[in-house]
């Protein structure tokens, strides 16, 4: 014993290498599993789906391989397949047959999303979590996210006039079966207006996931083809955020939380991982990240050229988004990831 103590006393105090060797914990797959900090699981993933009128339509979106514009019958099948894989959360985008200046199709009880919600609810009951994107850009003939005004001297989104319409759209979707509404227009006061209308309609239990920090991004390109919603003039920079701003995202999130948002979203994800992290650290609320269409398309395109390994890169990206602080990820990889993670 004394010998041992003596020899221990003679050892140099460890100062890193070679006593400390981080590689020990990477030595084999089982030890790597045991020390892994971030685990991606299928429950974290929300699959965006595009629904349009018609029957038997499953039209692939050119820039988003494996994603489709679906008529309601095909949407029901698609959701069934996803449920089989373990994907249980969906966000619906509607492509209406007719567009007009105010996006009135969005409020129609017989509108495309309302019909789709009823069909899915009838088929799957509570097995599917049905979320709805709440915005007018798919429904207006000018492609902006609400009604327009020239009051400020140029044609611009009329924030306050759009709020009651947006709230009405949400109530209509919840009546049709939506479990959660996700306003994406970046209007000031949108969460408060929606919360008040949902509560007044008896839906105080329905959560709001706000696209709180949504940037004016080039990464939405493929989506605008999918949803047929590009702005017909100008861009969305007067309502979506400047990619250069971080503190402003925290203010947006703070306001949405004060107005009653239950989940806050950062969108896009990859160029904004710092924002995801700051939001999570500052507020500690459920954070969603949208791995948007352009982020998906880049991986698909490079993989098709044989330049990267799609599965490896996609799982790496999704894991990175989660590691940054996202609790859930909206992603067009949801189905593939469910297969890969099995």
Active site residue ranges = 214, 267
Beta bridge partners of 52: 71, 95
Q: Which residue has the tokens 């509108």?
A: 111
* Smallest distance, ligand PBG to C-beta of residue 274, A: 20
Nearer to ligand PBG, 172 or 293 (CB): 293
Nearer to ligand PBG, 73 or 228 (CB): 228
DSSP string, 187-248: -TTHHHHHHHHHHHTT-TT--BEEEEEEB--GGGHHHHHHTT---SSS-STTTSBPTT-SHH
Both tokens assigned to 229: 């919603």
Nearer to ligand PBG, 60 or 199 (CB): 60
- Residue in the shown chain whose Cβ atom is closest to ligand PBG: 223
* Smallest distance, ligand PBG to C-beta of residue 280, A: 21
* Smallest distance, ligand PBG to C-beta of residue 163, A: 16
| SS percent in the chain: helix, strand, coil, step 5 | 45, 20, 35
Residues engaged in binding ligand PBG (CB under 6 A): 133, 135, 137, 184, 220, 223-224, 236, 292-293
Beta bridge partners of 60: 68
Nearer to ligand PBG, 143 or 177 (CB): 143
Strand-pair category, 263-267 with 287-291? parallel
* Smallest distance, ligand PBG to C-beta of residue 12, A: 56
Count the Cβ atoms, other than its own, within 10 Å of residue 285: 15
């Amino acid at each position: 014993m004394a010998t041992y103590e003596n020899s221990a006393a003679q050892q140099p105090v460890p100062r890193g290498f070679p006593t400390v060797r981080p590689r020990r914990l990477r030595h084999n797959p089982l030890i790597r599993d045991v020390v892994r900090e971030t685990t991606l699981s299928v429950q974290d993933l929300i699959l965006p789906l595009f629904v349009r009128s018609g029957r038997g339509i499953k039209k692939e979106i050119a820039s988003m391989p494996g994603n489709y514009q679906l008529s309601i019958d095909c949407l029901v099948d698609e959701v069934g397949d996803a449920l089989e894989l373990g994907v249980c959360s969906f966000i619906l985008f509607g492509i209406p047959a007719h567009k007009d200046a105010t996006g009135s199709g969005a409020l129609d009880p017989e509108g495309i999303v309302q019909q789709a919600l009823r069909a899915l609810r009838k088929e799957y009951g509570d097995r599917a979590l049905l979320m709805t994107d709440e915005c007018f850009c798919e429904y207006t003939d000018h492609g902006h996210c609400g009604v327009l005004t020239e009051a400020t001297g140029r044609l611009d989104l009329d924030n306050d006039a759009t709020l009651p319409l947006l709230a009405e759209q949400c109530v209509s979707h919840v009546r049709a079966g939506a479990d959660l509404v996700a306003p994406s227009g970046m209007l000031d006061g949108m969460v408060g207006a929606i919360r008040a209308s949902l509560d007044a309609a008896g839906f105080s239990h329905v959560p709001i996931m706000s696209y709180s920090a949504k940037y004016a991004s080039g990464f939405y390109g493929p989506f605008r083809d999918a949803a047929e919603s590009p702005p017909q003039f100008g861009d969305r920079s007067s309502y979506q955020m400047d990619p250069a701003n971080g503190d402003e995202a925290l203010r947006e999130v703070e306001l949405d939380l004060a107005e009653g948002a239950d989940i806050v979203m950062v969108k896009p994800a990859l160029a904004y991982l710092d924002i995801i992290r700051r939001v999570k650290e500052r507020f500690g609320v459920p954070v969603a990240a949208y791995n948007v269409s352009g982020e998906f398309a880049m991986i698909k395109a490079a993989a098709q050229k044989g330049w990267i390994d799609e599965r490896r890169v996609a799982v790496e990206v999704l894991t990175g988004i989660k590691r940054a602080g996202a609790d859930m990820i909206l992603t067009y990889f949801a189905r593939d990831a469910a297969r890969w993670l099995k």
